[in-house]
A and B are shown apart, each in its own frame.
Chain A
Amino acid sequence: MSFGERISRILLSTPVLRIGSILSTLFGISIFVFLVLRVIPGDSIVGAFGIETGVLTPEQIAQLKIYYGIDKSLPMQYLSWMQSFLTGNMGYSYSTGISIASLTAKALPVTIELALIGTILGVVMGIAVGTFSARKPGSIRDFAGQLFGLMALAVPGFVLSTTIVTIMANKFHYFPNGYEFVRLWEDPWMNLQQMMFPGLVLGIAVAAPVMRTTRSALLETVDKDFVRTAIGKGVNSRKVQTRHILRNSLIPIVTMTGIQFGYLLGGAVIVENIFSLPGMGRQVLYAITRREYATVQSSVMVFAILFIAINVITDLIYRKVDPRIKK
């Protein structure tokens, strides 16, 4: 094999293609976010000064443009930010004067913890109800299970959150999220109380698609030849359920779980707001309203990297649950 062939073989190998695809995705996202933020009206000065921007003199505006780094051309702004980001310097939040890296280091664990709790609760509820439904398709239990799935899909998170908050506070005088947020390692008991309800709300949202996926995957697998063979060989029902049916239905469930976990990382803004959790959703939302470009851009890149990492982990789990994929 010639040197050229060897190089082209390496370049076309799966890991290299995969890495190339990841890098190009991240690059595309960085360009997209950068441009979207510049296209929408308003800038960091308007975000910081609001209507008082109108009383600033042209000299003051010029000074502030330099301060916010928006006096340069768009390509220069992008390159400057990207250069900093690639060297680990995500920039500074102008409103707090704190580095975005340290803000993210505080907010990200909150969001990851919330997403994990939501996903675990959602998967447990989803698989349980999906299995419960699939055991007797068309029966009342199936109807009840599907009704749960529909309701979980239909009830918006903010309605469920507000209802829980209102009932707990008014009837039981209990709203742990009214206290300052406590991290898991500072006070696990209080942290659990503060994460419990938002986790449950997200869990219910995750449970619906997981339940529907589980149900259809199980129904598809239960008719497979190997299941009939196992039953025919006299394997006990429990083993058939877990080792043959559930295990062989896991691929779509894992896929759905991965997607849902990814969405939870970026999509828990409303729940974070209602339950006053200082996570990434709030960080990004606040930065968007104030047009803190570097904070939004860097935070979105962190989300993107995490989302890609989750996809990679999901792929690895595929290989674990279905050895055929290794081949």
Chain B
Amino acid sequence: MKLSKKLAIFSISTAMVAGVAFVAPAQAASKDLAIGVTLDIDKLDPHTATSFSTVRMLGLTYGSLVEVGPKLDIRSGLAASWGFNADSTELRLKLRKNVKFHDGSAFDAEDVKASINRVLDTKTTAAARANIATITSVTGSGLSVLIKLSVPNAPILAALDGVNMSMLSSDDIAANKIGKTVNGTGPFKFVSWEPGQSVKLEKNASYWKAPVKLDTVTFRIIPTEASILAALNAGTIQFSVLTSPTVALQVGKNLNLYRTPGLGYVTLQLNARVAPLNKLDVRLAIQCAINRAEVVKTAASGEAKVVGPITSPAYASDPNDRPCPNVDLAKTKKYLADAGYADGLTFKAIVSPTQYATASGTAQNLKAQLAKAGINLELDILDNATYVSRWLAGDFAAAVANNGGRIDPDTMYTRYFPSTGNLNKVAGYSSATMDALFLKGKATGRAAERKVVYKQISQELENNAVWIWLFAPYEYRAAAKNVTGFIPLATGSLIELRVVDLK
């Protein structure tokens, strides 16, 4: 046989190694859940954790005083009950009995005091510090805790939820162990972290709530969502967190897809301190030129919900309660003419395509829609860290952003729109009316009265076209059919894996 033929046959046969004769290893029989996620965790300290992946994983190992339920209601967590005094300046908590940390030590008021003080300590660089900055003291003993506030602040209760407000062992804090070990009260114990590959957890047999059914949970890092879906289809993982509507739409009938409108929202942030966006008429012109349903259809394949400023379910803004609920080019032209831009105008928006799945599509669709109204939107495409850096510095005229939402509108926006908010530079807007409304919202304890205040805030934001609120993307969880009992939460938390079973 000639050499060339031999070589050709050899190379083809080598390529045929890709033949599919290999058989995947058999599935383990124990209740081990493998979860596919695109991003690795980046730390083990729950108070300073900010990335979604870290917060999601640590949420399974730690507990907080209150929890958010499936209907986004505040439920008891490590605090069994609570009550405010008449003017909402004191919060009394009764802690749950028989709660233990993973190392077997009991959870009590000392741990609450040490944990909250750790969050308040500037040296910790805790992510939730701003949300609880009104706490002046935490006292108590045994299972009773008293939290005193500098001003009336009913939303403080919602601020006690979440990984960033995890209750840590006072002994661990004193021994400076936080971030080096994971010793929480959550349904799963931390076992190991192989950076870039996986995080392993095991069942906490003495969890305070219902018995945990899964033996282990492994977060497996698979950097692309298409590969995560492939792994689900191949059966090498049983559960996944997806963010891309394109990938979610490819989930077949062999899997369960959980689709939940999230609290986060996609918006075109306008910097009202930068010309020409400092003119209200220009901002209103932009608002009237955008068909939000079209953005959803184009950028998110129809997989999102058009929203107003407040996405917190109990206070949700009516998306039709805005100057132009539907696109109105005649109004746009009038606003532009009134602002002195009858011939159109140009402004720039920063966008980071790698930040979230719908970023590019949203930016391109906005550009196309605004072009029809004679507005030239120039896109400044940036990598994520560059984008965040410029965003934080308020170094932009506009920003296509996907911001996180909260179950309480105060914690959602208090850092943006009051003039004292530490992200007010990013918000690009403040007013005396807004400041007064946010103060009123904080001081109001009754739900019905708070709804009125936050409706006013929502209208103030829309009527001044402070930003252009577009849509709330869905949160997706895909699971194999044998994964039962999972309850998706709009907060993105996976805490309900504590009730999941593998059949």
List residues of chain A with CB under 8 Å of any chain B CB.
40-43, 46-57, 59-60, 63-64, 93, 95-98, 103, 107, 121, 124-125, 127-129, 131-132, 135, 162, 164-166, 168-170, 172-181, 190, 193, 196-197, 200, 203, 237-238, 241-242, 246, 272-276, 278, 282-283, 286, 289-291
Cβ of B230 under 8 Å from chain A: yes
State whether A54 and B423 are in contact (beta carbons under 8 Å apart), knowing that A41-B390, A174-B24 are contacts in the complex: yes
Complex partner residue of A125 from B11, B129, B198, CB under 8 angstroms: B11
A274, B392: Cβ atoms under 8 Å? Answer: no
Q: Is the CB of A55 within 8 A of B415?
A: yes
Residues in chain A near residue B14, CB distance under 8 A: 121, 124-125
Q: What 0/1 readout, one digit per residue, does chain B (341-355) give for beta carbons within 8 Å of chain A? A: 000000000000010
Whether B3 is near chain A, meaning CB under 8 Å from some CB there, is: yes
- Among the listed B43, B127, B197, B234, which residue makes an inter-chain contact with A52, where contact means beta carbons less than 8 Å apart? B127
Docked-complex contact A48 and B222, CB < 8 angstroms: no
In the complex, which residues of chain B have a beta carbon less than 8 angstroms from the beta carbon of A165?
A: 226-227, 230
Q: Which of B1-35 contact A (CB under 8 A)?
A: 2-5, 7-8, 10-12, 14-15, 17-18, 20, 22, 24-25, 34
Q: Which residues of B contact A121 (CB under 8 A)?
A: 11, 14-15
Q: How far is the CB of B122 from chain A (nearest CB, A)?
A: 5
B127 lies within 8 A of A42 (CB): no
Contacts of A129 in B (CB 8 A): 8, 11
Are B422 and A55 closer than 8 Å at their CB atoms? Answer: yes
Chain A residue contacts of B42, Cβ below 8 A:
48, 95-96, 290
The interface residues of chain A lying within 8 Å CB-to-CB of B383 are: 40, 289
Tally of chain B residues near chain A (CB < 8 A): 73
What's the Cα separation between A197 and B15 when bound, in Å? 10
Given known A127-B7, A170-B233, contact A162–B123 (CB-CB < 8 A): no
Asked if B329 lies at the interface with its beta carbon under 8 angstroms from chain A, I say no
Q: Is B211 an interface residue (CB 8 A)?
A: no
Chain B residues with CB under 8 Å of A168's CB are 20, 230, 234
Instruction: From known contacts A55-B422, A179-B25, A291-B385, infer whether A124 and B11 are also in contact, taking CB-CB under 8 Å.
Output: yes
Docked pose: A48 CA to B122 CA in angstroms: 17
Interchain CA distance A6-B236 in the complex, whole Å:
67
Which B residues have a C-beta under 8 Å from some C-beta of A?
A: 2-5, 7-8, 10-12, 14-15, 17-18, 20, 22, 24-25, 34, 36, 40, 42-43, 48, 50-51, 122-123, 125, 127, 129-130, 180, 193-198, 218, 220-224, 226-227, 229-237, 252, 354, 382-386, 388-392, 403, 415, 422-423, 425-426
Q: How far is the CB of A192 from the nearest CB of chain B, in Å?
A: 8
CA gap between A131 and B3 in the complex, in Å: 9
Decide if B196 touches A278 in the complex (CB within 8 Å).
yes
Measured between beta carbons, the chain B residues less than 8 angstroms from A246 are 3
Chain B residue with Cβ nearest A48: B42
Q: B223: nearest residue on chain A (CB-CB)?
A: A273
Q: How far is the CA of A107 from the CA of B5 in the complex (A)?
A: 38
Residue of B nearest to A43 (CB): B389
Question: 9 new A-B pairs (CB below 8 Å) besides A131-B3, A278-B196?
Answer: A41-B390, A42-B388, A46-B388, A54-B392, A125-B15, A166-B226, A178-B230, A178-B237, A274-B226
A286–B11 CB distance below 8 A: no
CA distance A93 to B36 in the complex (A): 23
B3 interface neighbour in A169, A241, A278, Cβ under 8 Å: A241
A4 to chain B, nearest CB (A): 54
Q: Which of A49, A57, A97, A168 counts the most chain B CB atoms within 10 A?
A: A49
- Choose among B18, B193, B389, B426 the residue that contacts A200 (Cβ–Cβ < 8 A): B18
Contacts of B236 in A (CB 8 A): 175-179
Contact status of A196 and B17, CB under 8 A, knowing A46-B389, A53-B388, A178-B222:
yes
Chain B residues with CB under 8 Å of A196's CB are 17-18, 22
A199, chain B: closest CB distance, angstroms: 9
B8 pairs with A178, CB closer than 8 A: no
Do B122 and A60 touch (CB < 8 A)? yes
Does the CB pair A124–B7 fall under 8 Å? yes
Which residues on the B side are within 8 Å of A174 (C-beta)? Answer: 20, 22, 24, 234
Cβ distance B449 to chain A, nearest Cβ, rounded Å: 28
A42 & B386 in contact (Cβ 8 Å cutoff): yes
* Alpha-carbon gap, A162 to B230, bound state (A): 9
Going nearest first, the 4 A-B pairs with the smallest beta carbon separation are: A178-B236, A178-B231, A42-B385, A169-B230
| Least CB distance, B32 to chain A, in whole angstroms | 12
- Quick one: closest A residue to B24, CB to CB? A174
Q: Are A289 and B423 in contact (CB under 8 A)?
A: no
Please determine whether A276 and B221 come into contact, CB atoms closer than 8 angstroms: yes
- For A278, list chain B residues within 8 Å (CB): 196-197, 221
- The listed residue with most A CB atoms (<10 A of its CB), out of B25, B382, B390, is B25
- Given contacts A121-B15, A169-B233, A237-B2, whether A273 and B125 have CB atoms under 8 Å apart is no
B224 lies within 8 A of A273 (CB) = yes
Q: Would you call A55 and B127 a contact (CB within 8 A)? A: yes
A104 → B minimal CB distance (Å): 12
* Distance of A57 Cα from B252 Cα, bound (Å): 47
A180 touches B226 (CB 8 A): no
Give the residues in chain B near A177, CB-CB below 8 Å.
Answer: 222, 227, 231, 236
Query: Chain A contacts of B390 at CB under 8 A?
Result: 41
Residues of B within 8 A of A97 (CB): 180
Given contacts A50-B51, A124-B11, contact A241 B4 (CB under 8 A): yes
Chain A residues in 8 Å Cβ range of B130: 55
On chain B, the residues within 8 Å of A282 by CB distance are 196, 223
Chain A residues contacting B50 (CB-CB under 8 Å) are: 48-52
- Whole-angstrom distance from the CB of A143 to the nearest CB of chain B? 15
Which one of A56, A135, A180 lies within 8 Å of B125 (CB-CB)? A56
Measured CA separation A180–B122 after assembly (Å): 39
Let me know if B7 and A128 touch, CB within 8 A: yes
Give CA–CA (A241, B198) in the complex, Å. Answer: 51
Complex: how many Å from CA A258 to CA B199? 37
Q: Contacts of B197 on A, CB cut-off 8 Å? A: 180-181, 278
CA distance A196 to B50 in the complex (A): 36
Closest Cβ of chain B to A38, distance in Å, is 13
Identify 7 residue pairs between A and B in the complex whose beta-carbon atoms are under 8 Å apart, listed by A's number.
A42-B386, A49-B48, A59-B122, A60-B125, A175-B230, A178-B231, A200-B18
Are A63 and B125 also in contact (CB < 8 A) when A196-B17, A274-B227 are?
yes
**Given the complex, which residues of B lie within 8 Å of A179, measured CB to CB?**
25, 220, 236
What separation, in Å, do the CA atoms of A278 and B234 have in the docked complex? 20
Q: Are A166 and B127 in contact (CB-based, < 8 A)?
A: no
Given A52-B127, A54-B423: A124 and B20 interface contact (C-beta under 8 Å): no
- What's the minimum C-beta distance from B442 to chain A, rounded to whole angstroms? 17
Q: Which of A169, A200, A276 gathers most chain B CB within 10 Å?
A: A276
Chain A residues with CB under 8 A of B125 = 49, 56, 60, 63-64
